[in-house]
Amino acid sequence: MGKVLFFFILFMIAIQIHAVDYKIKAYNPNGDGNWGFASGNYGANFRSFLLNPSNFGSGGVVSDVRFSSITDVSSITTSSLSDADIFVLMFPYGSGWNINSTQAQTLKNFVEQGGSLIVTGDADNTYPAVVGSLFGGVSFYNGWASTGGSVSMQNSVAGVTTGPFGTVSSLSWGGNATTQITSAGNSTILDNWGMVSVIKPTGTSGSVVFYADTDAFISLGYYGASWQTLAGNVFAYSAHSAHSAVPEMNTVLLIASGILALLSKKWLKL
């Protein structure tokens, strides 16, 4: 019986070396063909990056995470979020992208139950602020009308500013404007302007990442390689922050290794 258990544990360790599947869902209330994260034109490079096995997947940069699907949803409900690990809530420039307090509370519940959330704002920050208000009062302001700029990281969050895709020390862009995170609430603002902030996960809740500018988020490197490094780190961080009913690979390996060590000691005494 002992030998059977021994080989079973070895088998479990072997199969857990493979990447764990995670699902990404994104808000697209009007089926926008440009801004839809899962299907829009602007996010095509981003999707390719996330689905590329050399980035995420067994043998990739992040070998324990694989994104099995990226799907747009037109509504934010408990049902539409039920099988999501990461939810992307973008508010791009233009009309038609909004959210009400009930939907915002649904997203907060999603995070508290172990999901990870990524929120991006733009020129009209009314709706990102509705979500931010539920996380200690994270607030935004359309505060920089410039043809470009650069910001430096002043706070570090392990896995985000320094992560599997590299270290992010500054961010720059060449667009005509950006917005700003003016109040951190429960989050940590990473840079000296307020482009990105993070709420770390707890034992039961997932993480939240706020981007002050939707264009900079979805461009994936257009404004500089540091944005692509940040994006890779953020999605790896968000996946590792998400909780599910199935133990993560490292947890399974730790438990199995402990049992294996105990059995080995027992057999050595026999």
Query: Is 67 part of a structural domain of the chain?
Result: yes
Residue 3 lies in a domain: no
Residue 252 in domain = no
Q: What is the mean pLDDT of each run of 10 residues along the chain (270 residues)?
A: 51 59 96 92 96 97 97 96 97 86 98 98 88 96 70 96 98 76 97 95 97 89 90 98 61 51 53
* Paired tokens of 20: 């764990």
Q: Specify the CATH number for the domain of residue 114.
A: 3.40.50.880
Q: How many CB atoms lie within 10 A of CB 105?
A: 14
Residue 12 within a domain: no
∠ CA(145), CA(148), CA(150), 5° rounding? Answer: 110
CA separation, residue 249 to residues 1, 20, 76, 169 (Å): 26, 7, 30, 30
132 assigned to some structural domain: yes
**Residue 8 domain-assigned?**
no
Note whether residue 260 is domain-resident. Answer: no
* Residue 89 belongs to a domain: yes
Is the backbone of residue 183 left (phi > 0), alpha (psi -120 to 50) or beta?
beta
For 157-167, letters b (16+ CB in 10 Å) and e give bebbbbbbbbe
The secondary structure element, H or E, covering residue 233 is helix 225-241
Domain housing 141:
21-246
- The number of domains in the chain is 1
